[in-house]
Structure 1
Amino acid sequence: MGVFTCRTARARGVRGWVTPWLAAFLAVATSHALAQDPARLTLMVSGTAKMIYLPATLAQRLGYFHDEGLDVELLSQPAGVDAESELLTGFAQGVVGFYDHTIDLQAKGKEVRAIVVFSQVPGEAEVVSTRLPATVQSMRDLRGRTLGVTGLGASTSFLTRYLMTQQGLSAGDYTMLPVGAERSFVTALRSGRIDAGMTTDPTVSRLVHSGEARVLLDLRTLESTRAALGGSYPAACLYLQTEWLEAHPDVAAKLARAFVRTLRYMHTHGAEDIAGRMPPEFRRDHPELYTKALAAALPTFSTDGRMPDDGPPTVLRVLAASNANARDKHIDLSRTYTNKFVDQVRERR
């Protein structure tokens, strides 16, 4: 069975600009990655403990990668922008992160493609410290405040920019501060470094339960996501470099089978059973709270891993609000995802 590793991988410094030296380095690294044993894989996860990425750990714990003849190592990187850096340098063969990075990278001249979509909602929530007055009732009321995101260039920053823009606020009307996720996010809110911020479960549920925060805007259900973003929003997914994908379609098919099998398991088993299969440190001091949050999240996960038809245009529109490249350059959404591999799984049933 593959190795479950919760250590944080080191960031590799790709931040949207590519020098000639770095371009050459990436080309060599990619060639090296293509030459490796394709059955031994490293997948970067944008925070293994985040509930939105639970299918990665669950597939590992259930032995579904092993059943496909794959030796998969999962490494945790709190911010999606850092996880994509590991992919571009060839350190990892795939990323379990937000779909919006496939669009962002195409705008920067890099081709990656999502092959399994986990859900149609971000699974995030904007929480505000209970130290703030009760008059803070909307994103607009966060003018002049410091807002926490996992990283600058991370999906939480894309969503925050869009939501604030929708309220008529510009980037100069508030401050975005990268504070990571989970414990580091909690510490930043608790210490007053941030007034509010965007994060996922189980962190949201723990902060609300402790009375330290309240939910200002919820993107954890399909109804609230459509109301805030104007459509379904495919977020958590597995994406791969297109060059690697085209060189190893058989391995990609195995990954897709393992993940679709996991998604089906999630819809045929209860939250208590699934929670019990997670590493103990994921549940920490409040296992009952974790299980409750998971039960609420389970209906938002896909049953088949397919990309929803209205998803990519919605994500592009949101991304374009804060990303000039996505706004000004032609983006071919058909090159950012494929349903080919999950459809093969469905056909084999």
Structure 2
Amino acid sequence: MKIRSIAAIALASVAAISLTACRDSRDTGSGASTDVKIMVGGIDKVIYLPAKLTEQLGYFKDQGLNVQLLTEPAGATAENTLISGDVQGVVGFYDHTIDLQTKGKCITSVVQFADVPGEVEVVGAAQADKIKSPADFKGRKLGFTSPGSSTDFLTQYLATKNGVATTEYTGVKAGAGQTFVAALDQGGIDAGMTTDPTVAQLVSTGKGKVLVDMRTVEGTKAALGGLYPASSLYMDCKYVNDHKDVVQKLANAFVKTLGFVNSHSAEEIAAKMPADFANGGKELYAKSINDTKPMFNRDGKMKAEGARNVLDVLSQFSPNVKGRKDSVDLAKTYTTEFADKAAG
């Protein structure tokens, strides 16, 4: 698969600022610290809404936690900050825990926000009459967050499942948000995988059309053959074992937030979020939440069949997981211990 970059995006400065602030955040292992730094793989993405919403609702403070949320739009970069010890947790895709295990790292999802990716394959308006399904990907420029990202693997899966080899389309690093919008609008990509609120913006302006919708269980099963747990809070196994009291408090806060999401309207949820998250307008932001809201579960627990399906997909397309599927211990990539207690 050919990879070419849309543009040199100067988002590295944001990550640099964030990482400078958290270089000394490594815990000594006392288990007593209530200071927690969490890197979010795109804090304004609706798929990761529980992170900021929990802060806005005051649920971290209710648990006696001092949580600092940082943001890095690329999931692969976010995971690196966890491995280096700069943060104690990452809100990102569950599949990173499997990928990292093949590299000798023990990372585990402690709260699973969703059973589906929340991702959408969007086709540009100019190509909508030519690309009607992934079977039409041949010869096209397809955008995803970055090479080796979850969206890259999912794009490969959609293509090959529909008879298009990964060598028959051009993969393009299109980023997220306005970078993705510009890529689709200017013809840098013909279609691509992204999330809300970007999806809502593209559809509302007529610049894009939904091709594959993985924001619902039904849509995900149709596209991927089963559940595909994605958004989660994952942490280093040693940290989890050494700081169970802190992890439990985080789980308590997040599970309470999932309950809020499932019992309130999109408008009520949007009203709790920072005003600058609705840069496309309040109504459009509420719509993006409403469209993505079905992805969130109520209890923060992983479904075993979902974890197995993620492994099946990665074993086909992740260079790190190919040929190592049988060596992956899924039981170490997630736990329901904390969500079980939070629900109780």
Q: What TM-score comes out, normalization by structure 2 length? A: 0.90
**1:42-65, CA deviations, whole angstroms, 9 ceiling, x for partnerless residues?**
101011111010000000001111
Unaligned runs of 5+ in 1: 1-6, 13-28
Q: 1:154 to 1:38 in 2, by over 3 A?
A: farther
Instruction: Specify the SS of the correspondent of 2:116.
Output: coil
Aligned partner of 2:80 among 73, 82, 85: 85
The answer as to 2:69 corresponding to 1:74 is yes
Query: Could you tell me whether the CA contact under 8 Å between 2:137 and 2:164 is conserved in 1?
Result: no
Unaligned runs of 5+ in 2: 1-12
**1:141-162, CA deviations, whole angstroms, 9 ceiling, x for partnerless residues?**
1211111111112111111111
Distance in 2, matches of 1:96 and 1:133, equals: 33
Q: What TM-score comes out, normalization by structure 1 length? A: 0.89
How far does residue 284 in structure 1 lie from its aligned partner after superposition? 1.2
The answer as to 2:14 corresponding to 1:8 is yes
Amino acid aligned to 1:206: Q
Distance in 2, matches of 1:276 and 1:89, equals: 36
Amino acid aligned to 2:172: L
Decide which moves more: 238-247 or 277-286: 277-286
Query: Could you tell me whether the CA contact under 8 Å between 1:39 and 1:71 is conserved in 2?
Result: yes
Instruction: Specify the SS of the correspondent of 2:304.
Output: coil
Q: 1:245 to 1:34 in 2, by over 3 A?
A: farther
Correspondence for 1:227: 222
The answer as to 2:295 corresponding to 1:300 is yes
Correspondence for 2:340: 343
Distance in 2, matches of 1:133 and 1:300, equals: 25
Q: 1:338 to 1:11 in 2, by over 3 A?
A: farther
Instruction: Specify the SS of the correspondent of 1:10.
Output: helix
The answer as to 2:96 corresponding to 1:101 is yes
After superposition, where does 1:27-42 map in structure 2 within 5 Å?
Answer: 32-35=26-29, 38-42=33-37
Query: Could you tell me whether the CA contact under 8 Å between 2:63 and 2:249 is conserved in 1?
Result: yes
Aligned partner of 1:130 among 120, 125, 149: 125
Correspondence for 2:46: 51
Amino acid aligned to 2:343: R
Q: What's the C-alpha RMSD, in Å, of the aligned pairs?
A: 2.1
How far does residue 34 in structure 1 lie from its aligned partner after superposition? 4.0
Instruction: Specify the SS of the correspondent of 2:121.
Output: strand
Query: Aligned pair count?
Result: 326
Correspondence for 2:239: 244
**1:68-117, CA deviations, whole angstroms, 9 ceiling, x for partnerless residues?**
11111111111111110111111111000000111111111111000111
Query: Could you tell me whether the CA contact under 8 Å between 2:40 and 2:78 is conserved in 1?
Result: yes
Distance in 2, matches of 1:31 and 1:41, equals: 8
**1:6-38, CA deviations, whole angstroms, 9 ceiling, x for partnerless residues?**
x832399xxxxxxxxxxxxxxxx9994445873
Instruction: Specify the SS of the correspondent of 1:102.
Output: helix
Query: Could you tell me whether the CA contact under 8 Å between 1:99 and 1:114 is conserved in 2?
Result: yes
Distance in 1, matches of 2:186 and 2:17, equals: 26
Distance in 2, matches of 1:218 and 1:296, equals: 10
Distance in 2, matches of 1:326 and 1:226, equals: 22
Query: Could you tell me whether the CA contact under 8 Å between 2:199 and 2:288 is conserved in 1?
Result: no
Query: Could you tell me whether the CA contact under 8 Å between 1:34 and 1:247 is conserved in 2?
Result: no
After superposition, where does 1:249-260 map in structure 2 within 5 Å?
Answer: 249-260=244-255
Instruction: Specify the SS of the correspondent of 1:131.
Output: helix
Distance in 1, matches of 2:251 and 2:188, equals: 41
